Amino acid sequence: MSTQPEPPPTLPSDKTSPRSPRRWLVPALTLCLGGCLGAFVVAAGPLQSNSWWSRIWPALRGTTQINVSQPAVVNRIQQLRRLETVVYTMDKIVSGEHTSSILPDFLAGDRLLMLVHGEVVAGIDFSNLEPGDVQITGGQVHLHLPAPSVFGTRLDSARTRVYSRQTGLLVPTDPDLETQVRQEAERQLHDAAVADGILKTAQQNAQTTLVSLLQGLGFTEVTF
C-alpha cells in the first residue's frame, strides 16, 4: 500500500499579521507626541509670565542681530525729505501807509491797519544728506545733520483782515497797499520766529524723530 508524502511544515511568515501591534504602534506614538507638542504651544503664552519661563525663553528665542548697512540708513533718512518739525504761529497788527510831503494826511494820505494770523514752518531737508554724514559702528550710529531752515511763512486768509483804513479826500484808495502790508507781515513773522529760536527747536525735534527711527531699525545708540 503506497503512502503519500507529508506536506512540508509551514514556516512562520515575515509579514506582519493584520492584528500585529506594530501596525498601530507607530501612528499612536506620533499622535501622542503631536498632542503633547500642541498642548505645550498653547500653554506657552501664559507660561511666559512665569519667572522660570522668562529666564528660559530668551535662550530659546536667540539673540537679535543688527544688519543694517550704511547706504540703507542713508536711504531711509533721505525718504523723510523735507521734514517739518515745528510750526510757529502768531497774531499781529501790521500797519502800512502812503504819505505826501506836501499835503496833510487827511487830504493825500492812505493808511491801513491789518490784523494778521500767520504760521512759520521750519524743519530739515534730508534730501541734502550725504553718505559721509552717516557713520555706523556695530549697534551705534553717528549722524551729521543738514542745517535746519525755514520752509515757509504763510498767512491764514480766514483769520487775517483789514482792521482799519483811512484814505485822504484828494487821493483814491491804493489797491497795492494791502498787498504790501501782507508782505511786510510775512517778513515780521519770519523774523520773530527766528528770534524766538524756531531753528533750534526744529533741529531738536528732528533729532528726536531720527532716534525713534533708528532705534526701530535696531540701533542701540544714536549720536549727532
pLDDT 10s digits, 14-58: 444 455 555 555 555 565 555 555 554 545 455 445 565 566 655
Are 162 and 198 within one domain? yes
Q: What is the DSSP letter of 27?
A: H
What sign results for the dihedral spanned by CA atoms 54, 59, 60, 64?
positive
Are 37 and 77 within one domain? no
3-state secondary structure of 51: helix
Percent of the chain scored above 90 by pLDDT? 32
Q: Where are the alpha helices (DSSP H) in 20-85?
A: 22-47, 51-61, 70-78
Q: What range does the domain containing 203 cover?
A: 70-223
Are 107 and 211 within one domain? yes
CA distance 109 to 100: 6
Determine, yes or no, domain membership for 16: no
As for how many domains the chain has, the answer is: 2
Position 104 scores a pLDDT of 81
Are 99 and 194 within one domain? yes
Determine, yes or no, domain membership for 137: yes
The pLDDT tens digits for 138-197 are 888 999 999 999 999 999 988 998 888 888 788 788 888 889 999 999 999 999 999 999
Give residue 70's identity as a one-letter amino acid code: Q
Are 169 and 206 within one domain? yes
Could you tell me whether strands 140-143 and 134-137 are parallel, antiparallel, or unpaired per DSSP bridges? antiparallel
CA distance 9 to 51: 68
What sign results for the dihedral spanned by CA atoms 13, 17, 21, 22?
positive
Determine, yes or no, domain membership for 15: no
Percent of the chain scored above 70 by pLDDT? 70
Helix axes 70-78, 198-216, angle to 10 degrees: 130
Intra-chain end-to-end CA distance of the chain, in Å: 118
Are 97 and 206 within one domain? yes
Regarding pTM above 0.85, the answer is: no
Name residue, grid cell 529760536. Answer: 197
- Which of these, 223, 222, 220, 221, lies nearest to 63 by C-alpha position? 220
